[in-house]
Amino acid sequence: MKNTIIPGGSIPEYDIKNNANNKLSKTPVMISLAMFCCFLWGSAFPCIKVGYRLFGISGSDSASQILFAGVRFMMAGIMVVLVKCVTEKKPVLPSAPGKIAVLSLFQTIIQYIFFYIGLAHTTGVKSSIITGSGTFITLFVCCLMFRQEKLEKRKIAGCLLGFIGLILVNLTGNSIDFDVSVFGEGFILIAAFSSAMASGFIKMFSKDSDVVMLSGYQFFFGGIVMILAGYFTGGRLGGISAAGTGLIMYMGFISAAAYTFWGLLLKYNDVSKVSACKFMTPVFGVFLSFVILGESGQFGWQMVLSLVLVCAGIFIVNSSGKAKNGNK
């Protein structure tokens, strides 16, 4: 890569040949792995609800929720770094502190602190829909700010179909109002923007840094910051048990596996192609909430149509010409 990627700069010359030859750049492989990540993230929805019950966290206790999330992300970071050390057969130290700090800030700290506070001031339906709009935000951020790929009509159309599907799956058996607040919908939107910025930075940093190392250490340090923020604002975790410990270990695995694989996918593919798959996360979330929590009244023709629209959107975005990883 000859040009440095900076927000507002020119589209860089990526190592197209190496990206094209990597297995992760093959569309079937990319979509399959992205679906696995979305399945893991979807399982987080019911797990978070179960975790709140096990640790005695109320829906309005943002401090304890941030503390809970911080422990989860710290565990995720430890898992990623340990696996990296085992596979490398040597200690893996943080070799890019500036990049780790940037990713910790956008991917973990800002995103989840604003998300949990916002979630306490709005409904789950609206938060899920606003979070889903993050795919659009990611598309525009990476195309217009980071200039990592070109903004195409097909990408916009595919994201629009997926977003409509997202709205359907969230409105099935629910209702929505149009009341808006800064601390509710506004904070959820900030979290979505932070996630979009993180995707752009991951794509940028992956060109000359180890994505797995970055993922592990950004989770670890971001988790520590969230633990401190949650604890010193009054957050507490009660009722520590074997079930609770096992759950939080699994949730750490969710973040460790999903974000690490997601980072690798962003390294070898256009951000828009990978991000379009994220519309499947709430679909998996609804299904797994039904299986794990026994939530009913969420299946019908709307669910089927939602799945069709999301899949159609993913297909359209990923069939928008031959991928050239930012140089179309």
Q: Answer yes or no: are the C-beta atoms of 171 and 303 closer than 8 Å.
A: no
Does 4 score more than 70 pLDDT? no
**Measured distance CA(23)–CA(6) in Å, rounded:** 27
- pLDDT of the residue at 314: 84
Q: Answer yes or no: are the C-beta atoms of 182 and 189 closer than 8 Å.
A: no
- pLDDT of the residue at 1: 40
- pLDDT of the residue at 74: 96
- Alpha-carbon separation of residue 216 from 93, 99, 319 (angstroms): 10, 12, 32
| Across 213-225, average pLDDT | 95
Q: Between 19 and 309, name the one with better pLDDT.
A: 309
Q: Between 307 and 157, name the one with better pLDDT.
A: 157
Residue 300: band (very low, low, confident or very high) from pLDDT cuts 50, 70, 90: low
- For a pLDDT cut of 70, what percent of the chain falls above it? 83
Q: Between 158 and 21, name the one with better pLDDT.
A: 158
| Across 102-131, average pLDDT | 83
What are phi and psi for residue 151, nearest 5 degrees? -80, 120
* pLDDT digit string, tens, across residues 14-40: 444 445 557 888 988 999 999 999 999
Q: Between 311 and 122, name the one with better pLDDT.
A: 311
Q: Between 105 and 311, name the one with better pLDDT.
A: 105
- pLDDT of the residue at 131: 76
**Measured distance CA(218)–CA(294) in Å, rounded:** 35
Highest mean pLDDT among 132-146, 265-279, 303-317: 265-279
- pLDDT of the residue at 253: 96
| Across 141-150, average pLDDT | 85
User: What is the rounded average pLDDT for all residues in the chain?
Assistant: 82
Does 156 score more than 60 pLDDT? yes
- pLDDT of the residue at 218: 96
- pLDDT of the residue at 72: 94
- pLDDT of the residue at 238: 85
Please report, for the chain, the start and end positions of each structural domain, with discontinuous segments joined by +. Answer: 16-318
Residue 296: band (very low, low, confident or very high) from pLDDT cuts 50, 70, 90: low
Length of the chain: 328
- Alpha-carbon separation of residue 106 from 52, 97, 193, 257 (angstroms): 25, 14, 9, 19
- pLDDT of the residue at 59: 77
Residue 133: band (very low, low, confident or very high) from pLDDT cuts 50, 70, 90: confident
